[in-house]
Amino acid sequence: MSEKVERIKTLIIGSGPAGYTAAIYAARADLKPVVYTGMEPGGQLTTTTEVDNFPGYPEGIDGPTMMMQLQQQAERFGTEVRIGMITAVELSKQVGGIHKATVDNDKTIEAETIIISTGATAKYLNIPSEQRLRGGGVSACAVCDGFFYKGQDVAIVGGGDTAAEEASYLANICNKVTMLIRKDYMRASKAMQHRVNSLPNLEVRFNTQVDEVLGEQVVEGLRMLNNQTNEKEDIAITGLFIAIGHKPNTDIFKGQIDMDETGYIITNGKSTKTNLPGVFACGDSQDKEYRQAVTAAGTGCMAALDAERYLATIEAPKEVV
């Protein structure tokens, strides 16, 4: 066998809470997992400051430290963690088939099972002032960071279900929430719209977008642009939440694995099974609804158990009837 082809039992693609939890369980089940970290080792949590909502950390923990500890825990049981990107896959449709994955356009991994934990990436507006103040008051996760703006004035961008849900969440803890919607209507479900409209400290601005986020080191205000009148208006805020959607990192699986129209991998019922035998998906790559570290970790555990059971069925001697 060439040096550039390696055969393993379980390949885990992605190193967020889903990937590392899958690794902990897979390693303890002796599946000798290999994790490829991807471009952002540790995943989305490494771009967060304090994680206050993961059970077991009464004082909270910073995102990068938590991910380092998860990695160490996975390694303690024999997981091999490698820095690298899976750049292409060739997935088998056969039960017991071998799946192939290319690492950094070079080496090939042949795996009996693959656990996809590639996560998702929050979309940003991509204007310079917003990019500069990411981590300084600009956030894409109200549930993660909203608490730091308790009693303060904040704004949120977006008109979908996520924005509506996060706006209501923020309205419960902040003094005032201004919601910027670029169209003259809200895309969110009627139920969510009613919820938003019932909150006295939440002001919805239609036909309104971000012109500039104000502040040097931290967010101090927002310059809004009315796209109908071209009028600009400044408001004082300390936090700006971007809730304009997420993109699952599943491009390399397109055309091979069943996904919904937005690229989220479809899993079977309550399991992490995809339409392909031996390929499992967990975390944000298959969840557009909850997207929390703890739910990702939970599905990571499920994916490893599903992989272990799958291997047991294909390795068990066939019964002679």
Out of 78, 97, 136, 160, the only residue in the binding site for ligand NDP (CB under 6 A) is 160
Binding mask 285-314 for ligand NDP (x = CB under 6 A): ---xx-------------------------
* Closest alpha carbon to 170 in 137, 204, 147: 147
Of 99-128, which residues contact ligand NDP (CB under 6 A)? Answer: 125
Q: Which amino acid is at 103?
A: V
HSE (side-chain half, CA atoms, 13 Å) at 288? 19
| Residue span binding ligand NDP (CB under 6 A) among the ranges 92-100, 112-120, 138-146, 182-190 | 182-190
Residue showing the smallest CB distance to ligand NDP in the complex: 160
* Closest alpha carbon to 130 in 151, 164, 152, 155: 155
Catalytic residue, candidates 141, 161, 282, 306: 141
* DSSP assignment letter at 238: S
Contact 86, 103 (CB under 8 A): yes
Does 9 participate in binding ligand NDP (rule CB under 6 A)? no
Contact 300, 22 (CB under 8 A): yes
Does 146 participate in binding ligand NDP (rule CB under 6 A)? no
Is the Cβ of residue 73 or residue 226 nearer to ligand NDP in the bound state? 226
| Residue span binding ligand NDP (CB under 6 A) among the ranges 31-39, 134-142, 152-160, 222-230 | 152-160
Q: Which residues pair with 80 in a beta bridge?
A: 34
Is position 161 annotated as part of the catalytic site?
no
94 Cβ neighbours under 8 A, 6+ residues apart: 277
Which tokens sit at 109? 């991994």
Out of 130, 145, 165, 287, the only residue in the binding site for ligand NDP (CB under 6 A) is 165
Q: How many residues bind ligand NDP (CB under 6 A)?
A: 17
Of 197-216, which residues contact ligand NDP (CB under 6 A)? Answer: 209
Does 182 participate in binding ligand NDP (rule CB under 6 A)? yes
Is position 258 annotated as part of the catalytic site?
no
Does 158 participate in binding ligand NDP (rule CB under 6 A)? yes
Out of 14, 43, 119, 159, the only residue in the binding site for ligand NDP (CB under 6 A) is 159
The nearest distance, CB 123 to ligand NDP, in angstroms, is 6
| Residue span binding ligand NDP (CB under 6 A) among the ranges 34-42, 85-93, 158-166, 194-202 | 158-166
Catalytic residue, candidates 30, 52, 62, 145: 145
Find the helix or strand (DSSP H, E) in which 173 lies.
Answer: helix 161-173
Out of 37, 48, 139, 162, the only residue in the binding site for ligand NDP (CB under 6 A) is 162
Query: In Å, what is the CA distance from 189 to each residue of 123, 148, 185, 192, 305?
Result: 20, 28, 11, 5, 35
Is position 145 annotated as part of the catalytic site?
yes
| Residue span binding ligand NDP (CB under 6 A) among the ranges 90-98, 151-159, 168-176, 230-238 | 151-159
Distance CA 216, CA 286 (A): 37
| Residue span binding ligand NDP (CB under 6 A) among the ranges 14-22, 79-87, 153-161, 308-316 | 153-161
Distance CA 286, CA 217 (A): 35
Contact 186, 196 (CB under 8 A): yes
Does 244 participate in binding ligand NDP (rule CB under 6 A)? yes
Distance CA 12, CA 114 (A): 6
Does 183 participate in binding ligand NDP (rule CB under 6 A)? yes
Distance CA 125, CA 123 (A): 7
The alpha carbon dihedral of 288, 290, 292, 298 has a sign of: negative
For the annotated catalytic residues, the residue numbers are: 141, 144-145
Q: Which residues bind ligand NDP (CB under 6 A)?
A: 125, 157-163, 165, 182-183, 187, 209, 244-245, 288-289
